[in-house]
Chain A
Amino acid sequence: MKNPMIQVKNLIYDYLISKNEDEEPERHRAIDDVTLTVETGDFIAILGHNGSGKSTFAKQINVLLKPTSGTLIVGGMDTADEKNLLPIRQTAGMVFQNPDNQIIATIVEEDVGFGPENIGVPTDEIWKRVEKSLSSVGMLHYRKHSPNRLSGGQKQRVAIAGVMAMKPDCIVLDEPTAMLDPAGRKDVIATVRELNEKENVTVILITHYMDEVVFADKVFVMDAGRIALQGTPREVFSQVEKLKEIGLDVPQVTELAHELKEEGLPLPDGILTPEEFREEIEKLWQSSAEMSPTSILKEADLKSRLSIRSI
């Protein structure tokens, strides 16, 4: 049994907001008693609407912030301990939302080398790591390019390579696709999944896009600093009503399936992908020899809608 990658126990974090110098600073609770475990090698997704505390949580993992109370153990190291700072940051890398604001160097390969330089990796080894991590995100060809000339998705892949060059066990990505176009989003997510599968890197993906989390091993839904829901994507997305209450959408197919079920079609809960949906519908089609005209009509409509959406 492997050790868990991340262990969080009763984590609380308050932002201190001081309006005046002499006044007692106001406390704003961003994380409110969170307890969870992330297993090594898992693909974890964190959902939650704006201000629910996702980024604050991510920054705790990277020790950009420290717990107000409670404990956070990353790779067996307590984030509260000062001497663990660099080892933890090397173990759990972080990719941020804005691709422009996290690239430091003026040449792609030099940017990827920045992290290894900081942790004192010898020169020859840096070159090896840069080459390896750039090829693992499919950007080796662009090594001599200026980051300014890359697309958003390419920049994010460079940022991921920059983290990978530090040989982390875990990558935390805070809405890495929020500023990208659909093609860029797809590239970045595919890259992250590949790293998770091939290199066995634990992934913690924070996102607003529901279709990016259907592959996850586990989903956490945050609301007002708490974990409101957790489980496999299927388990989480079965609870359409609860998600809506929190103010979140479910993937479009899931919502469609849910509505149809409400209308009386015998569909299972938590359908996640269009392919799965199509299968279920076909099953229905075969099992019911004589379908009512309305449901056939509906299905035709669905099929046309689906073909537009299908990925």
Chain B
Amino acid sequence: MREITIGQYYPAESVIHRLDPRVKLVGTLVYIISLFLFKSFSCYFVVAAFLFTVILLSKVPLGYILRGLKTIIFLLLFMSMFNLFFTPGDVVYWKGGPFQITDAGIRNAGFMALRLILLIIGSSLMTFTTTPNQLTDGLESLLKPFKKLGLPVHEVAMMMSIALRFIPILMEETNKIMMAQMARGASFDEGNLIQKAKSLVPLLVPLFVSAFRRADDLAMAMEARCYHGGEGRTKMKPLRYQSRDYIAYVVMLLYLATVIFTGKVLYL
């Protein structure tokens, strides 16, 4: 199975790793908002500087982060090309049929690529530095106000953490079944689309059967260990804000202010 670096935890001892997951979730949200507030290179410069600082603090190697970008490089190229060739503008550098390259097109393509790169790196940094369990705990805690509205917050968080636990197991299983079918002469990358889809049936059926059996077993194992929903449940690792978390919130505000100042007041 190909190594997927996007969304995987990268264990290290760093301030960013130690931050409360709620801070990181809110921080990521603030960061994404800041990306879409303005469309100016100077704002992006502030964003990039901030991101770079956080990466340095997180001790996740830059090469490791960039490797995650490889998976989206085609999307990136495609969207940039689209912007480059189809945006009308004042100064037209080149024209051929429906295609044209204009000053606005170049700007747009540049913005688009930058934004996407900054977006992916920023949000994957959160998953690099936060374990799946912390992530679901943080989400559960942040969404707690919605519980009063009848939203099954605990259940959703539990579902997420179980999914995260079983994704690698099911991937391994897919691999095994594929090998087993290939050993019997099946092939998964031959023929046209319909043939390919058909060849997936003997893969998917046993996979689903096994997944349902696992689900059944797991439900029983959870019940046997006294699981009965979120009520009266205590936490082994309750989330508690430390002083560094408050500092991080302040830094976040300062950052947002800087971006707005750059974009709104300086008009850069």
Which residues in B have their C-beta under 8 angstroms from that of A114? 222, 225, 227
Measured between beta carbons, the chain B residues less than 8 angstroms from A90 are 226
Choice from B162, B165, B214, B225 contacting A115 with Cβ under 8 Å: B225
Residues of A within 8 A of B214 (CB): 98, 100-101
Which stretch from A10-18, A37-45, A116-124, A187-195 is at the chain B interface? A116-124
Q: Is A310 an interface residue, CB under 8 A from the partner?
A: no
Q: How far is the CA of A110 from the CA of B164 in the complex (A)?
A: 14
Q: Nearest CB to that of B218 among chain A residues?
A: A101
User: How distant is the Cα of A126 from the Cα of B235 in the complex, in angstroms?
Assistant: 8
Cross-chain contact of A102 among B221, B226, B233 (Cβ < 8 A)? B221
Please provide the chain B residues from 150 to 165 with a CB less than 8 Å away from any CB of chain A in the complex: 161-162, 164-165
CA distance A111 to B214 in the complex (A): 17
Minimum CB–CB distance for B197 against chain A, Å: 29
Report B-chain residues with C-beta under 8 Å of the C-beta of A166.
Answer: 225-226
Question: Contact check: which of A64, A106, A110 meets B236 at CB < 8 Å?
Answer: A110
Determine whether B234 belongs to the interface, using a CB cutoff of 8 Å to chain A: yes
Interface residues of B in 206-241 (CB under 8 A from A): 213-214, 217-218, 220-228, 232-238
Is A106 touching B226 in the complex (CB atoms < 8 A)? no
CA A100 to CA B171, docked complex, whole Å: 14
Number of A interface residues in the complex (CB < 8 A)? 39
Candidates A94, A103, A122; contact of B234 at CB < 8 Å: A122
Q: List residues of A (75-128) whose CB comes within 8 Å of B's CBs.
A: 86, 89-90, 93-94, 96, 98, 100-107, 109-110, 113-123, 126-127
Q: Which residues of A contact B162 (CB under 8 A)?
A: 104
The residue that B133 contacts in the complex, of A86, A96, A106, A130, with Cβ under 8 A, is A106
Bound form: Cα–Cα A120–B227 in Å: 10
| The one of A98, A106, A127, A162 that contacts B225, using a Cβ cutoff of 8 Å | A162
Selected A-B contacts with CB under 8 Å, 18 pairs: A64-B224, A90-B226, A93-B225, A102-B218, A102-B221, A104-B162, A104-B221, A104-B222, A105-B165, A106-B133, A106-B164, A114-B227, A115-B226, A119-B226, A120-B234, A121-B234, A123-B234, A123-B237
Given A103-B165, A105-B133, A118-B228, output 4 extra A-B contacts at Cβ < 8 Å.
A106-B133, A114-B227, A148-B169, A162-B225
